[in-house]
Structure 1
């Protein structure tokens, strides 16, 4: 009989099991071994075909399939983030031929080998061996067996993924800044324009002010090729001379310059936290307020669309945390309403798509669960509390009504003691009307969660 793991509300669930370490290692190793410069859809098809042919137990096949999906999803996020560095180009033919010219954004495929994954509080097997010798040996053996499932693991890749997967949280998250630094130093050592584009996006001031890399002549050449893009116009302006820098970040101005405002909005919309933080630290307090409450920025109409876009995309963690901590101080009620719309939409789709048994429904369900986890994890405590208690704990009661134990347990993890007492009242009302084993199990989950924090 197949063993089914019951959802839990214990904080011990934050520590992943060994199978998740192995799954993450396998998924990332398979991606690194097969991607090279290929398109992502081609890699997905080849990995699905390989996974269908290999002889594995169904549960292991399912776990590896899920890990590959998480890996591809994160790489897609990285690609979508950096496509905006290139202007949209119309399809053109190479002169005297019928071959379409490759668009500049396709160059990103050349940098897949530089992708660096975040370790998330790494704990190496050597450390585990010192703490618990038996556990450390088991980890090494499990990772060795997991690596054997990959047909083509790149040479020298054993140490990197090995360090990477030993963490307290098995997330699939790319370190964008470390990846950009590796691209600049390794892949683009003889490609100044691409170096300049990545350095601008991540506000690498030491690199941009290095005259041996980007002297005045090169900056003039970049201005001809890259003009018209708010990011490069901003940097080319302030790098021209010290007077332009002082004017751009003048503390006497009540409102920021147009170029400064545009590049700040560009950083917010596309998840360039380093660039956003670079600007934020150099502007005055009145200018910061203008960034946050300007009609074309975040809170006032039609600026509400900007925050709604951040919540809808649910991809840029650092940007959302940065803004949430500041916007909740200015207008918490408006922010809660906007975020609630995106949150409940993801929850409703998650509950609805779970009923679909086909593959497309399962993928949509996973995407919406990922979005739920993103919003719950990256909202500030004040906004998270407002969302979960919105409309008499509608999120909790809907997960309860749809019999979605995993979603229900996820939401319970983020309730405080007072909210749990209120949610318990609504759950008891449903339990009084419909007494069944399944409803009783949900009620016990709430009671166990209360016992862990009381």
Structure 2
């Protein structure tokens, strides 16, 4: 039996390592079993949302939610927990609405209606598919459900959802979308980058060579526009489809353009995790520099306790926790150490116990040891009881994980 060459052995090891990492991620996701309280809260909140939303705006429902728990004889602690769960549901519905606003092509001012086309999304609110025992919307399941039910006799909307979520089995269905319908779609939504990409690709014979050629220095303009739109609005399935066809140089060039704006929006966790994981492998320094300003901006708003909007309370706390949760370990470590541990030092200066503890949970033993030196210098200049308490928390954390 021939012994495989060294490059083949290395590639096999890489495949095995990637496979084990994926298995660990799946196991970690499956092992997180929600508690009975979380199951009850998610069930109550999503049921209230379905029953009360109808065709109304989210802001109207947000004001009504403030008084739902007060009208019933519920203890105050349970009222607070229920309000937080309702806020999570509203924030998730707001995310889904903002994500799908850009799927419509608004007509010219002379042909514009009283209400924009994006108001059609309000009719889909009762049909949203929520993840099991969670206050999160399953975007892919919602897309397939809307295609089969609400858009059953609406071919254009079916085509739009299929393109945005890269459902190739529906896009290339000649029986559902024949040449006559595709020509009509071209006239109606051909100005949109995603639909223009798919319509042009379906009309091209040599798709891979024409669109995703590796010999050209810059990617195709239609590919670049579609890829930027998918990253900007968090369509992970479309990002993965195009990502697999591009070279590393094209991926980095296009991904870095929208990376900072994506961190500012803090809207689509799965897309941010996917992009962060791959960009940090190619350019960790540039990825960290672009992500630092949105991360520090959310931190400053949180520290100074600035007010959120009427629809989403605790907005900046959600943003900060969102970025910490969905960043890859490489970026998280770099952000914590950026500017000589600026984040944890500011949390220590402003006596923010929750933020301080949250940052400690995302730090390695070496980072905690280095951060302790900076915190000791701050504590020596200004010794307070709160500072001593936070410093002892850091010391206990350091002794626990060593």
Q: Distance in 2 between matches of 1:362 and 1:395?
A: 28
Asked if 1:308 is matched to 2:264, the reply is: no
**Compared CA separation, residues 16 and 198, structure 1 to 2 (3 A):** closer
Q: CA deviation at 1:89?
A: 4.0
User: Which residue of the partner structure matches residue 224 of structure 2?
Assistant: 261
Q: CA deviation at 1:422?
A: 1.4
Quick one: which of 267, 276, 280 aligns to 1:328? 280
TM-score (norm 2): 0.85
1:99-157: CA deviation from partner (whole Å, max 9, x where unpaired): x5432211111212232223xxxxxxxxxxxxxxxxxxxxxxxxxxxxxxxxxxxxxxx
User: Which residue of the partner structure matches residue 359 of structure 2?
Assistant: 411
Q: Distance in 1 between matches of 2:303 and 2:362?
A: 19
1:15-414 pair list within 5 angstroms:
18-89=36-107, 101-118=114-131, 164-165=132-133, 172-244=135-207, 246-283=209-246, 285=247, 288-293=248-253, 297-299=254-256, 303=257, 306-353=258-305, 366-414=314-362
Asked whether the 8 Å contact 2:243–2:251 carries over to 1, the reply is no
**274-283 or 195-204: bigger deviation:** 274-283
Question: Between Structure 1 and Structure 2, how many residues are aligned?
Answer: 371
Q: CA deviation at 1:280?
A: 1.6
Q: CA deviation at 1:402?
A: 1.4
Return the structure number with greater relative CO, CA threshold 8 A, min gap 6.
1
**324-333 or 429-438: bigger deviation:** 429-438
Asked whether the 8 Å contact 1:37–1:109 carries over to 2, the reply is yes
Q: CA deviation at 1:360?
A: 5.1
1:224-245: CA deviation from partner (whole Å, max 9, x where unpaired): 1111111111111111253356
Asked whether the 8 Å contact 2:298–2:319 carries over to 1, the reply is yes
Q: Distance in 1 between matches of 2:108 and 2:183?
A: 24
**Compared CA separation, residues 173 and 451, structure 1 to 2 (3 A):** farther
Asked whether the 8 Å contact 1:34–1:43 carries over to 2, the reply is yes
RMSD: 2.5
Asked whether the 8 Å contact 2:260–2:294 carries over to 1, the reply is yes
**Compared CA separation, residues 222 and 365, structure 1 to 2 (3 A):** closer
Asked whether the 8 Å contact 1:93–1:101 carries over to 2, the reply is no
TM-score (norm 1): 0.75
**Compared CA separation, residues 105 and 360, structure 1 to 2 (3 A):** closer
User: Which residue of the partner structure matches residue 401 of structure 2?
Assistant: 453
Asked whether the 8 Å contact 1:230–1:263 carries over to 2, the reply is yes
Asked if 1:420 is matched to 2:368, the reply is: yes
Q: CA deviation at 1:66?
A: 1.4
Asked whether the 8 Å contact 1:81–1:270 carries over to 2, the reply is yes
1:277-330: CA deviation from partner (whole Å, max 9, x where unpaired): 1112223x2xx412422xxx344xxx4xx2220110011222222222232234
1:86-108: CA deviation from partner (whole Å, max 9, x where unpaired): 123467789xxxxx543221111
Asked whether the 8 Å contact 2:89–2:135 carries over to 1, the reply is yes
Quick one: which of 385, 391, 396 aligns to 1:443? 391
**220-229 or 430-439: bigger deviation:** 430-439
**Compared CA separation, residues 376 and 226, structure 1 to 2 (3 A):** same
Q: CA deviation at 1:22?
A: 2.9
1:149-203: CA deviation from partner (whole Å, max 9, x where unpaired): xxxxxxxxxxxxxxx22xxxxx632211111111111111111110000000001
Asked whether the 8 Å contact 1:116–1:174 carries over to 2, the reply is yes
**Compared CA separation, residues 243 and 338, structure 1 to 2 (3 A):** closer
Note the residue ranges of structure 1 that are not aligned, 5 or more in a row: 1-13, 95-99, 119-163, 166-170
Asked whether the 8 Å contact 1:399–1:405 carries over to 2, the reply is yes
Q: Secondary structure at the match of 1:213?
A: coil
Structure that is richer in helix per residue: 2
Note the residue ranges of structure 2 that are not aligned, 5 or more in a row: 1-31
Q: CA deviation at 1:254?
A: 4.1
Asked whether the 8 Å contact 1:117–1:174 carries over to 2, the reply is yes
Asked whether the 8 Å contact 1:91–1:101 carries over to 2, the reply is no
Asked whether the 8 Å contact 2:87–2:313 carries over to 1, the reply is no
Q: Distance in 1 between matches of 2:255 and 2:240?
A: 16
Asked whether the 8 Å contact 1:256–1:290 carries over to 2, the reply is yes
